[in-house]
Amino acid sequence: MLIQDVYLLGCIFVLFPRTELDKKSMYYGMESRIETVNLREHPEQLYRVITTTENINRVGDWLQEAGFSKEYVVTYDEFLNIMRNERKLQEERQKESLDNRISVGPDIKQEIQKRSTELFQDLDNGAPTERLNDGGAPTERLD
């Protein structure tokens, strides 16, 4: 029997944590687990339901009977793609946040460009500069 001939049965509910204890269980691998979930009282906890292609309609119907959209039901491959896209978006947001924190105004950029130009001109002329002559490595030009 080949692995592609084996079908997973049932479904996996992917939930958001509701309490601080739930969050700790998920993020730190604590012994306690999310034991009771009442999606009627806390529908915001449902993130996705993962199942096989063969079961997607059946599980979707069950969810719809319970008052949820069929859009919550995805295949294993679809779930992996969702996670990849979420991760990509998260990384882009983090990069954008970092870029916003380190961005400088035009006045500061001009000052940095001016000082770096002066420094490189001094170095090209072979003159040691106070900015570099801090008692460390020699700054005279080696030809």
Q: pLDDT-derived band of residue 127, with 50, 70 and 90 as boundaries?
A: low
Q: Tell me what pLDDT residue 37 has.
A: 81
Residue 98 or residue 67, greater confidence: 67
- Residues 32-44: what's their mean pLDDT? 78
Does residue 23 belong to any structural domain of this protein? Answer: yes
First to last CA, the chain: 74
Does residue 37 belong to any structural domain of this protein? Answer: yes
- Quote the tokens at residue 117: 């130009």
Does residue 137 belong to any structural domain of this protein? Answer: no
Q: pLDDT-derived band of residue 3, with 50, 70 and 90 as boundaries?
A: very low
Q: pLDDT-derived band of residue 39, with 50, 70 and 90 as boundaries?
A: confident
Does residue 39 belong to any structural domain of this protein? Answer: yes
Does residue 114 belong to any structural domain of this protein? Answer: no
Does residue 115 belong to any structural domain of this protein? Answer: no
Helix count and strand count (H, E) for the chain = 4, 3
Q: Tell me what pLDDT residue 51 has.
A: 93
What range does the domain containing 81 cover?
8-102
In the block, which residue shows the tokens 């859009």?
Answer: 71
Q: What is the mean pLDDT of the chain?
A: 75
Q: Tell me what pLDDT residue 2 has.
A: 46
Query: Does residue 73 sit in helix, strand or coil?
Result: strand
State residue 111 phi and psi, 5-degree precision: -65, -40
User: Which segments of the chain are extended strands (E)?
Assistant: 11-15, 46-51, 73-75
- Quote the tokens at residue 54: 């063969």
State residue 135 phi and psi, 5-degree precision: 90, 0
Assess contact for 52 and 75: CB atoms under 8 A: yes
Number of domains in the chain: 1
Q: DSSP letter at 104? A: -
Does residue 124 belong to any structural domain of this protein? Answer: no
pLDDT, tens digit (0-9, with 9 covering 90-100), for 49-62: 999 999 999 999 99
pLDDT, tens digit (0-9, with 9 covering 90-100), for 107-122: 676 777 777 777 767 6
Residue 100 or residue 3, greater confidence: 100
Does residue 136 belong to any structural domain of this protein? Answer: no
